[in-house]
Chain A
């Protein structure tokens, strides 16, 4: 079982460049999330999606965009990378329905450095 798969695992960007972090899950989860984790800090929610075609902003959405065209995929787009976006990014998914909540399942993370 693959679970939540993120690519790439590591990336170095120059200021002003753009890139997309890929995330895919094979658990048929309806909810998907993007978090960032800064050194020594907790998780901050960037964007989330409750199903295909539906996305919403989290706590720190500025400088990012997302799309959810399928249940499986939830890519995160960084436009005009800035040093403040240096972080570790985690994609996660969960199932919510029938008044039941399943825990978050996380990918292994993508470490991004902007120089």
Chain B
């Protein structure tokens, strides 16, 4: 079946540090890939997405590139802020939306 693997957290960084959160997936066909963010006490919000190979999703300074050859969708940000502290979930959607699968989430803490 489909699955998503994320790097284990928690990840603790200083403000303005570079962030990478690794995500790899297993899926049949051509899934769409997503990063969701969950701030404390809130629901999940879409951060960015990519629907085909080599697409780059970007939002709020975050980027991720859909790499089919390595089945990866790593999240990056050049300079994190304290306000980026949250849990980040990698997810995929296959079968045109019938099957969303989430990774376990990576908690990020950014210290001033």
Contacts and interface: CB of A to CB of B under 8 A. Distances in A.
Interface of A: 31, 33, 41-43, 45, 50, 90, 92, 94-97, 99-109
A50 B98 contact: yes
Contact of B42 (A42, A104, A108): A108
A96 B42 contact: no
Given A42-B89, A101-B51, A103-B34, A31 B43 contact: no
B45 A100 contact: no
Given A41-B104, A43-B89, A101-B32, A90 B43 contact: yes
Contact of A96 (B34, B45, B97, B104): B97
Contacts of B96: 96-97, 99-101
Interface residues of B, number: 21
Contacts of A104: 34, 36, 44, 46, 91, 93, 100
A42 B32 CA distance: 19
A35 to B, nearest CB: 8
Contacts of A107: 43
Grouping DSSP codes into helix (H, G, I), strand (E, B) and loop, the A interface class, with mixed when no group exceeds half, is strand
Interface of B: 32, 34, 36, 42-46, 49, 51, 89, 91, 93, 96-98, 100, 102-105
B43, B51, B91, B93 pick with most chain A CB within 10 angstroms = B43
B106 to A, nearest CB: 10
A16 B44 CA distance: 30
B57 to A, nearest CB: 11
B91 to A, nearest CB: 8
Contacts of A33: 100
Nearest to B90: A42
A95 B97 contact: yes
A54 B91 CA distance: 24
Given A90-B43, A104-B46, 11 more contacts: A31-B98, A42-B103, A42-B104, A43-B44, A94-B97, A101-B32, A103-B46, A103-B49, A105-B46, A108-B42, A108-B43
